[in-house]
Amino acid sequence: MKSTRYGRRTVLSCMIWSLRMPSSGLPSLWSGFLTHEPPGKDYSLQKVILGTHTSENEPNYLMLAQVQLPLDDAENDARHYDDDRPDIGGFGCANGKVQIIQQINHEGEVNRARYMPQNPFIIATKTVSAEVYVFDYSKHPSKPPLDGACNPDLRLRGHNTEGYGLSWSKFKQGHLLSGSDDAQICLWDINGTPKNKSLEAMQIFKVHEGVVEDVAWHLRHEYLFGSVGDDQYLLIWDLRTPAASKPVQSVVAHQSEVNCLAFNPFNEWVVATGSTDKTVKLFDLRKINTPLHIFDSHKEEVFQVGWNPKNETILASCCLGRRLMVWDLSRIDEEQSPEDAEDGPPELLFIHGGHTSKISDFSWNPCEDWVVASVAEDNILQIWQMAENIYHDEDDLPEESTKAAAS
Average pLDDT value over all residues in the chain: 84
The mean per-residue pLDDT over the stretch 81-99 comes to 46
Does the pLDDT at position 120 exceed 60? yes
Q: Choose the weakest-confidence range: 53-67, 177-191, 242-256, 278-292.
A: 53-67
Evaluated on CA atoms 163, 127, 376, 370, the torsion sign reads: positive
Per-residue pLDDT of 390-406, as tens digits, reads 777 655 555 554 444 44
**pLDDT over 80 at 318, yes or no:** yes
263 DSSP β-pair partners: 271
The pLDDT, as a whole number, for residue 30 is: 54
CATH of the domain at 198: 2.130.10.10
Asked if residue 91 is part of any domain, the answer here is no
Domain-located, residue 62: no
Indicate the range of 266-275, 306-315, 351-360 predicted with least confidence. Answer: 351-360
Q: How many domains does the chain have?
A: 1
Report yes or no: 371 and 325 within 8 Å, Cβ to Cβ.
no
Q: What is the pLDDT of residue 56?
A: 75
For residue 280, being part of any structural domain is answered with yes
Q: What are phi and psi of 330, to 5 degrees?
A: -70, -15
Instruction: Please state, for a pLDDT cut of 70, what percent of the chain lies above it.
Output: 81
**Could you report the per-residue pLDDT of 4-39, keeping only the tens digit for each?**
333 444 333 556 666 666 444 344 555 555 666 667
Residue 90 lies in a domain: no
pLDDT of residue 14: 56
From residue 278, give the alpha-carbon distance in Å to each of 22, 75, 281, 295, 369. 33, 39, 10, 9, 28
Grouping H, G, I as helix, E, B as strand and the rest as coil, residue 360 is strand
Residue pair 137/107 in contact (Cβ under 8 Å)? The answer is no
Confirm whether 180 is domain-assigned.
yes
Cβ atoms of 23 and 13 within 8 Å: the answer is no
Q: What is the pLDDT of residue 94?
A: 38
- Assess if residue 94 is contained within a domain: no
pLDDT tens-digit series, residues 148-186:
899 999 999 999 999 999 999 999 999 999 999 999 999
The confidence band for 58, taking pLDDT boundaries of 50, 70 and 90, is confident
The answer to whether residue 17 is domain-embedded is no
Report the pLDDT averaged over residues 35-51. Answer: 77
Res. 87 pLDDT band, cuts 50 70 90: very low
pLDDT at site 98:
74
Those residues whose C-beta lies under 8 Å from the C-beta of residue 248, and which sit 6 or more positions away, are 236, 237, 238, 241
pLDDT for position 390: 77
- 0.75 exceeded by the pTM? yes
pLDDT category, 374, cuts 50, 70, 90?
A: confident
Residue range 123-140, pLDDT digits in tens: 999 999 999 999 999 999
User: What count of other Cβ atoms lies within 10 Å of the Cβ of residue 110?
Assistant: 27
How far is Cα 385 from Cα 14, in angstroms, rounded to an integer? 5
12 part of a folded domain: no
Residues 6 or more apart in contact with residue 367 via CB below 8 angstroms: 33, 35
Q: How confident is the model at residue 67 (pLDDT cuts 50, 70, 90)?
A: confident
Asked if 245 contacts 257 with a C-beta cutoff of 8 angstroms, the reply is no
Lowest-pLDDT range, 46-60, 264-278, 286-300, 338-352? 46-60
Under DSSP, is residue 36 helix (H, G, I), strand (E, B) or coil?
strand
What residues pair up with 34 in beta bridges, in sequence order?
A: 47
Length of the chain: 407
pLDDT score recorded for residue 91: 37
Residue 213 structural domain? 117-140+152-405
